[in-house]
Amino acid sequence: MVGDEAMAVLKIVRMGHPVLLQKAEAVQDWRDPEIQRLARDMVDTMIDADGAGLAAPQVAVPLRLIVFRCRAERVSGAPDDQALETRVLLNPEIEPVGDEMALAWEGCLSIPGMRGAVPRPRRIRYRGLGLDGSVIEAEAENFHARVVQHEVDHLDGVLYPMRMQDFRLFGYNEELARAAQAAQEQERAAQEVAEAEARELLGAMQEGVRG
């Protein structure tokens, strides 16, 4: 937890705002009351928007500060991909661990209503300061690693579509859901046809044996 003060929800800027394309500046003093307040307000904003993470540039503040969480329904359950309460990181640094890449869907509070499939290192190591000035170091994989990488990208002026390699895997949530449902229905129909043909063939073979 980062405080029990009254909720303050900030405005989230959207793709096209210049702050999202600039490199954020380092936080100089974690004790600064404005930094403490900003972090608390960002947590409130993330929760209000039902997001997995938020970076300071997304609320028009070009500082290297992120907040994120890993809800139980999103993680894989791997040793370094467990449910995690809200975490605040000041001046985070990340590095890949190993060469394995993973492709997975991402959305963004600054690009509402859309998602895309983004390749990223499956496993990372990250380090930063907590809101109390303590050093936080961790290894992360799968969703945990992805959300940290996504938020740190915001600090460097990078939005997830810039990481994409196949824009056929990018679109509005409703359209992608509709396309997925149509594909499932086609697959079901094809399966039903295949099963009917198999039954017909089996029946013909049985008739032939009796004959």
Largest separation between any pair of C-alpha atoms in the chain: 91
Distance CA 105, CA 86 (A): 21
Measured distance CA(109)–CA(146) in Å, rounded: 15
Long-range own/partner contacts, residues 134-140 (CB < 8 A, 24 or more apart):
136/87, 136/89, 138/80, 139/80, 139/97, 140/80, 140/81
Catalytic residue among 34, 151, 197, 200: 151
**DSSP SS3 for 134:** coil
Cα–Cα distance measured from residue 8 to residue 46, given in angstroms and rounded to the nearest whole number: 11
CA distances 140 to 39, 92, 111, 178, Å, are: 22, 14, 25, 33
5 is catalytic: no
What is the set of active-site residues?
151
